[in-house]
Structure 1
Amino acid sequence: MKAKITVHIYAKTSKVNKNGQLPIYFRLTVNGERFEFSTKKFIEKSKWSSEQSKMKGNSDEARSLNNYLDLIKSKVFDIQMELLHKNEELSIENFKSRLTGTHERERMIIPIYQSHNDKIKDLIGNGYAYGTLERFKISLKHLQEFILWKYNVSDISINKIDYAFVTEFEFYLRSIKKCNNNTAVKYVRNFRKIIKICLDNDGWIKTQLLDMKAK
């Protein structure tokens, strides 16, 4: 379903400041859900065009304010493109977190997995064997191919990984890659080790739906 997104900029008449100016507010509506916030800008009522949602005239002050408001609208469009590119939901919460700057830096699974493998490589001969590194490298390759096959993207946020993801990955190994039972279990166990690293790092992953105990 295509999301219906509208933006509205207006001068809030119910919040006149001590100088008689009106605060300019920005309202975003996504599928009927609203989020509004102050732009931290104020204007005299006579200078505001309600029809055009901008300051009247072509003065330096008007151009500066209107350009600022256009930048906010452009940011909404940029967020929309980002969410579409990442196959994320066009929800009011996703827009809100990015507009307010509360959106945490997204951690993706492939760089975390690669970092783990790089550490094993540095420890070969000091607790790890070359064969162990090779198994993790193959497991990572299978995971990358699975994500592309299943989601048509090159990587995925760790917060999108749940029990269903793991079971689908195991199904992929058995059906598409034709791995036997023991091999499939080993690759899944390797992957669960990476997820455990994410779970052990507070704040990395928001859900602990996965049972990380080894089978």
Structure 2
Amino acid sequence: MKSTFRILFLARWELEKNDKVPLCARITIDGERVKFSLKSEVTAKIWDPKSGRATVQTKEALQLNRYLDSIKGQMIMHYHSLSEANEVVTASMMRGAFLGTNIKSNTLLTVFEEFNDRQEKLIGIDLAQSTFNKYDLTYRRLKEFLKVKMRKSDILLC
């Protein structure tokens, strides 16, 4: 499924102080929006709200535009890595990936692997070795199926 993905850089004019405005980024994926601070400020007179970039050809403006380009590149890389790993990518997942505060999401293979780890400890107590071998084989076949048929490394359980 193709999704819409857009990144905007905005100045928070309501927080203007000493001719500086804080910058934030807004990610929109399929209509879901999230906004977060970039923890940087820009001189108000060089910021163009329509283009979301600094417009004047000063050293500060060129440096800021390079910084924004690198952030955009990082976000695109995060989007591609999340879309390969998951079936659905949300704006909040993107924000978490970029800020490094990923919320642990349950995926099919991680849940299955946790189950197998718990079962392995029960071998000889409540579980026969042959039963665990069947669980392990099922996990490996499921992983192979996802890779070959669905072209995904894992899928979300949602």
Correspondence 1:82-161 to 2 at 5 A: 82-106=81-105, 108-116=110-118, 118-120=120-122, 124=124, 127=125, 132-146=128-142, 148-149=144-145, 152=150, 153=152, 155-156=154-155, 160=157
Contact 1:6–1:28 (CA<8 Å) still a contact in 2?
A: yes
What is the root-mean-square deviation of aligned Cα atoms in Å? 3.1
User: Which of structures 1 and 2 has the bigger CA Rg?
Assistant: 1
Distance in 2 between the 1:27 and 1:41 partners?
15
Give the TM-score, by structure 1 length.
Answer: 0.56
Contact 1:113–1:140 (CA<8 Å) still a contact in 2?
A: no
Contact 2:7–2:25 (CA<8 Å) still a contact in 1?
A: yes
**3-state SS of paired residue (2:15):** coil
Alignment deviations for residues 117-145 of structure 1 (CA, whole Å, 9 cap, x no partner): 55356xx5xx467xx12211112212332
Structure with the larger strand share: 2
Give the TM-score, by structure 2 length.
Answer: 0.72
- Distance change in 2, residues 1:128/1:38 (3 Å): closer
- Distance change in 2, residues 1:37/1:119 (3 Å): same
Distance in 1 between the 2:10 and 2:139 partners?
48
Comparing both chains, which one has the higher relative contact order based on Cα–Cα distances under 8 Å and sequence gaps of 6 or more? 2
Correspondence 1:173-188 to 2 at 5 A: none
Unaligned runs of 5+ in 1: 162-215
Contact 1:109–1:155 (CA<8 Å) still a contact in 2?
A: no
